[in-house]
Amino acid sequence: MKRMIYRVKRLSPPEVLLDEKVNNYRILILNYGTHPCGYVGVPLDHPLAKIHHNSLNNIGINVHGEMSFCKKGDNIIWPKDYWWFGWSYDYAKDYVGYDPILSIPLDGKKWTTKEIYQEALSVIEQIENIVKNKKYSPKILCPYCNSEQPIKINHDLNILDSGCPDCGFGASYDLTIEIICSNCGKIIYEQKTKVRDDCIE
């Protein structure tokens, strides 16, 4: 576990402060120079793998700010064989080493690696409770087969603009959410929307 040291300039690539396996999960804490970010990786066969981070926010997962990142491990920054969820520490009342608008540091709380690690452990506990209580798979009555079955939620992202090549800031994409009956396989609900998502890195 390395100490979080804030800097005026962003680090690219970010510095790895901690990379640790916890049971079937994995915790990654990165220092982007101006601020840190925390990540929890779930195995690719996990029930919550490949779902959008907003789904965890909608379920009510408690994390600093909110979940604002999800990605399959690329083995460049995020180790492969995991689906990663992440959150940042650059919100109001957080210390940020450099503000691009004011060109000065923003005063606030400086987070330690240990504090972020404790929050990551809490995220893992919350994820396990979500799976245990099956909050991710509610039951509804299918209008086609009239069976009450757990539903499946598919998220399909179609990238329209990848944004900044370094951090992804300003990325936009089409998001399609489908709710599918596990019994007959028909689509019960479908929503398509255009999303502009700012990278937290």
More confident: 108 or 180: 108
Residue-wise pLDDT tens digits, 107-159:
789 999 999 999 999 999 999 988 887 655 544 566 677 665 555 656 565 55
State the pLDDT at residue 3.
Answer: 97
Give the pLDDT mean for 179-191: 72
- Per the prediction, the chain carries an average pLDDT of 80
- Band of residue 49 on the pLDDT scale cut at 50, 70, 90: confident
| Whole-angstrom Cα Rg for the chain | 18
Does the pTM surpass 0.85? The reply is no
Q: Is residue 200 scored above 50 in pLDDT?
A: no
Select from 163, 129, 118 the least CA-distant residue to 59: 129
**Extents of the domains making up the chain:** 15-132, 139-197
State the pLDDT at residue 172.
Answer: 59
186 backbone dihedrals φ, ψ, rounded to 5°: -85, 150
Cβ neighbourhood burial of 107 (10 Å; 0-12, 13-18, 19+): exposed
State the pLDDT at residue 149.
Answer: 54
Contact of 8 with 98, CB cutoff 8 Å: yes
State the pLDDT at residue 41.
Answer: 98
- CA distance linking residue 172 with residue 86, whole number of Å: 18
- CA distance linking residue 123 with residue 54, whole number of Å: 14
Q: Is residue 201 scored above 80 in pLDDT?
A: no
Give the pLDDT mean for 87-112: 81
- Band of residue 198 on the pLDDT scale cut at 50, 70, 90: very low
